[in-house]
Structure 1
């Protein structure tokens, strides 16, 4: 089995193609208080189905140190008070903002929430220096996704005006198995 990774970018805010409002009312807010527990919850609850595992060994302090960096923001989509998804912006590279993580809880997929959340996340990425004085102007927003991620991820990024600037393919060492949101989690 091969894993393909697509590296996408947007180098002008005018390229953003907004998604329409989802049928389900969604609230998107910034988690202004860095919380390792909350970010780890989002990371495992959403990423467990999509093979996100690089941060699983992080300690509480590693999460805190990362979240305390200027230019790191977490934007959370909620439906009737329940977290539905998130976008994590990482602006610590001069002039560049990476959408480090982006996704929805599985029960909220397919409802138009992802396109709306990505639209909002991109708008906030372009204006990151306004909330973090001292950061240079944003010249580029980046994100990557791979063939192990959600099936709508690549299409959503492209529909919002991001373009592929590089593709890489590598063999999978073993047949990957998604870790799930927690060990032993079984879904119907």
Structure 2
């Protein structure tokens, strides 16, 4: 196992008012783009989205999760997964996690590679952030949202930080650390990558 490390910068970003959210261009109807909430908690579907989007971005924290842990997480009141589709095919997702004192974290957000670079991400982020702000309307037991926040880091896609900034998120903390080099598992964790044996 390699002992090499990589210097990783993490930016924590927030909005503190719904007025902070800046809209993105909405794709026209002919694009086949739509966003829907996955209302039925499904560990299988959520794990698919997590690996398909995060496999190339070194998302590994949930790979060891059991089925029961996935289900318990997804069944927590207020946890929401909003999925972007293009002509019926999942393109990416945004996951919202409500926390104490009216905070909602955007825990995961991203698109699969073949859907990137066409404005879908900006639309999904703006839509998902708006759903974070109005989350209590769907979950009356949750207090109204006072803050929406997230982390992004230098291992995320090259446009992630700028996309968050364009939607009105502000950096409130920056941290740089050495992290062990862990190969990205790819969208099929445990399977051989194309061109390898």
TM-score range, shorter chain: over 0.9
What's 1:144 paired with? 151
Match of 1:30 among 33, 37, 44: 37
SS in 1 for 2:48: helix
How far is the alpha carbon of 1:21 from its aligned partner? 1.9
* 1:18-65 per-position Cα deviation (integer Å, ceiling 9, x unaligned): 110236331000000000000000000110010000000000000000
| Distance (whole Å) between structure 2 residues aligned to residue 104 and residue 93 of structure 1 | 28
Asked if 1:8 is matched to 2:9, the reply is: no
SS in 1 for 2:39: coil
Match of 1:109 among 91, 111, 116: 116
* TM-score, with length taken from structure 1: 0.96
What's 1:134 paired with? 141
> Aligned-pair RMSD on alpha carbons?
1.3
* TM-score, with length taken from structure 2: 0.91
| Distance (whole Å) between structure 1 residues aligned to residue 39 and residue 32 of structure 2 | 22
Which structure: larger Rg?
2
Regions of 4+ moved over 4 Å? none
What's 2:183 paired with? 177
Equivalent residue pairs, number? 187
Asked if 1:121 is matched to 2:128, the reply is: yes
Gaps of 5+ in 1: none
Q: Which residues of 2 match residues 49-128 of structure 1 at below 5 A?
A: 49-128=56-135
Gaps of 5+ in 2: 1-5
How far is the alpha carbon of 1:15 from its aligned partner? 1.0
